[in-house]
Amino acid sequence: MRKMSRKTFIGSLAALGGGPADLLLARLNIPGRPLDPASLRAIGRVVLPSALGAPGVDRVVASFLMWVRNYHTGAEVLHGYGTAELTSTPEMPVRRWAGQLHDLDEVARATHGKPFTRLTVEARETLIRNALKDQRVQVVTVPVEAEHVIAALVSHFVSSAEARDLCYGAVIGKERCRPLGTGPNRPPRRTS
Amino acid sequence: MTRVVEADICIIGSGISAAMVAEHVAEDRVARIVVVEAGGEVPPLAARYALRQRFLDYGETPWPKDHIEELTATGPLQSRSMCVGGLAMHWGGVTPRFSPEDFRLQTLYGVHADWPIGYDDLDPFYQEAEVRLGVAGEQGPPELDPRGKPFPMPALPLTYNLALLKDWAANAGIPMWSQPSAKNSIPYHGRAQCCRNDTCFPICPVGAKYSPDFTWNALRKSRRVELVTRTLVRRLIPAAGSTRIERAVGISLDDRAVPIEFRAKTFVLAGGYVWSSYLLLLSQSSRFPNGVANSSGLVGKYLTGHRNVQAFVKLPMQLYPGINEQHSLVTKKFMRPAKGDFYLRHDLRIWESTVGAEPRLRDDSGGLLLGDGLLTDWQRRAERGTARVRAYYDVLPDQESAVALDASKRTPWGDPLPKLTFRDSPASIEARGPTEERIKSLFAELARAGKGEILRTMVDAFQDHPAGGCRMGHDPTTSVTDGYGRTHDHENLFVVGAPTCVSGSCANATLTFSALSLRSAAMIAEAFPHRTRPPRNT
């Protein structure tokens, strides 16, 4: 049997949409309260660029959940130059992040009488803005350091080659293996 | 019971300097070469793509367990790496040469000390190192960048970004060219072409960047070298009634109860700027109370390196960061100082950068940026490109810039650990402020020439590419080794690479360490007969 790549696997899950895909993705999370994929997708529709479209948002969320799933606490971090210090990866704040998703849902139910995932995009954005109003949210280079799950999701996305290409409207393909090329050519325009 | 290993040449350490020596000697001479490495094996090339992905995704080291928990140092240690291949398993692969002036600082500028060798002495070994490592480079202006032979590979091509930045520098009157690098611009020595995936540091997943494991793999396959890993040499023992080193004694880190002893005709110390001096100092005895090779009292002294000033310059040009972020432009224009009021030499490099064009979740007024608002803000900030400019500048060492034994901190097996102290010479202390200001002024001129603005400037106090500790020289009272790395005190003991440097220049130094090691190797090889036919590969 042909081995399925990680990217293909995530893509297949994303393509399934809700229902069984949610259950599977939720189970991929580490023990404790899981990160709810549906909530993350509902957030993604608000906080990620619309140019991604719904499938693109689903793909980013699936990639984020896979990233969470594959995280190892206590793994040795690259030791830098100029110091003898050795460090390891911290615990991922999944409980806090899951609690933040739960809080959004609680507020949605209290203010709109329905779950967060069933609100309009506008209503979701209002709740998200309220939730982040007093938070020190920022894009972080290491998403595990994000104070809020929304910052973690956005940070995960903007660090990708896909996001870089989207920003610059060009096929840069950062950190991917690409032909060395023979001259100083401008990267081709991004078409979709 | 002690395990005894006999050899013609015992090399202690397995980093890039050791690899150069072993390869050079093994290629042409009949000699049993044993290499002793305190660390363990590194992951094979086939595993590196997955390790790189963990690094990109989570910041995990792609070289897990590449250090020895109990062997550390107090002070600004360059790296904890202690493994087969050493620090050069995760180097950036940047390979400029020092400039001819580096070797004659006292004669030309009246500062510090001359080396016992000149640039012309080292040029053939620079060439050899460039061939062995596989250096892709572009000839700079010959008066600034002299070389006896062309690079073995064409330069890494300039990206769209670097071509624009080169024009910008040219407008400011600064000639720049493609940074020579030990990265394959074409397939080379059975290794792949660079595919600019931009993790040269810390890991090249395709083998396009040279690392010493390739040399060790080839040498072990041909059975010309034996590598003994996880084995720490703790003392060098001179023979009774002689100054020749007779034995290197140590322990297996996997079975500390079993002592191990290496006997050889020639010993080569290739442990880098800390551990080479450290072993010499540790090897003290009643006959050699200051350690071996230390009649001058200078073992561990004159640690050297270079500091840097860098800035990020926003420019009115569209750049596309990510095409090849680790590749850069370089110039040697400032490595030949004009007559001035103080001694100042520095290099200059320019890279593409994303600084000042990062995506963000809050705008300048603190407003939340979500969805298309985030993207629009990011795109607006990315309309103008950013250049990273950096200058390494010469720092001349004080004698007490040193590695010493720290009796207050010991290994589990009872040895004192090293303590590092970097100290500028009085002249360098005096010049530091004006030097850094002059470099900042240069950056400001560059920014003006491109109608740009400096976003921020930083000075890094760390001395990069550290070297010294066993400096070479003609005079045994003011140096530890001769110009070939042979210790003045022990005719069969060589120190190779970084420790032998007299000064640290203002450019990445690994190629120079390699060239110095090859020059030592040529001398070491003379004691052994030539090969008359290819070795049997049975």
Cα–Cα distance, A145 to B425 (Å, whole number): 42
Q: Kindly give the residue spans of alpha helices, DSSP state H, lying in B115-225.
A: 119-133, 160-171, 212-221
Check: complex ipTM more than 0.90 = yes
pLDDT > 80? residue A8: no
Q: What is the mean pLDDT of residues B285-312?
A: 98
- Report the residue from A71, A79, A185 with minimal CB separation from B79: A79
The CATH number assigned to the domain holding B367 equals 3.50.50.60
B77 falls within a domain: yes
B533 falls within a domain: no
Q: Which domain holds residue B515?
A: 3-525
Q: Is the Cβ pair A70, B57 closer than 8 Å?
A: yes
Per residue in A147-177, pLDDT (tens digit) is 999 999 999 999 999 999 999 999 999 999 9
Q: Is the Cβ pair A125, B370 closer than 8 Å?
A: yes
pLDDT > 90? residue A20: no
B507 falls within a domain: yes
Q: What is the mean pLDDT of residues A101-115?
A: 98
Cα–Cα distance, B444 to B80 (Å, whole number): 36
- Report the residue from B79, B157, B360 with minimal CB separation from A180: B157
Closest CA relative to residue B179, chosen from B129, B131, B135: B135
Number of domains in chain B: 1
Q: Is the Cβ pair B371, A168 closer than 8 Å?
A: no
B530 falls within a domain: no
- Report the residue from A46, A79, A138 with minimal CB separation from B80: A79
Q: How confident is the model at residue B534 (pLDDT cuts 50, 70, 90)?
A: low
Cα–Cα distances (Å) from B21 to B11, B88, B519, B521, B526, in that order, read: 8, 15, 9, 5, 13
Most distant CA atoms of chain B, gap in Å:
81
B190: tokens are: 């059975």
Chain A residues lying within 8 Å of B59, measured CB to CB: 77-78, 89, 142
- Report the residue from A72, A76, A175 with minimal CB separation from B197: A175
Q: What is the DSSP string of A38-82?
A: HHHHHHHHHHS-GGGHHHHHHHHHHHHHHHHHT--TTPBBPP-TT
B1 close to A (CB below 8 A): no
Q: Is the Cβ pair B374, A132 closer than 8 Å?
A: no
CB B208 within 8 A of CB B194: yes
B534 falls within a domain: no
pLDDT > 80? residue A28: no
**Residue B25: φ, ψ to 5°:** -70, -45
Looking at residue A33, what is its pLDDT?
66
The helix-helix angle for A149-158 and A161-168 (nearest 10°) equals 70
Cα–Cα distance, A127 to B2 (Å, whole number): 72
Q: Is the Cβ pair B55, A78 closer than 8 Å?
A: yes
B23 falls within a domain: yes
Q: How confident is the model at residue B121 (pLDDT cuts 50, 70, 90)?
A: very high
B535 falls within a domain: no
B375 close to A (CB below 8 A): yes
B532 falls within a domain: no
Q: What is the dihedral of CA B143, B147, B153, B155, to 10 degrees?
A: -20
Looking at residue A173, what is its pLDDT?
95
Closest CA relative to residue B314, chosen from B424, B445, B447, B431: B447
pLDDT > 70? residue B455: yes
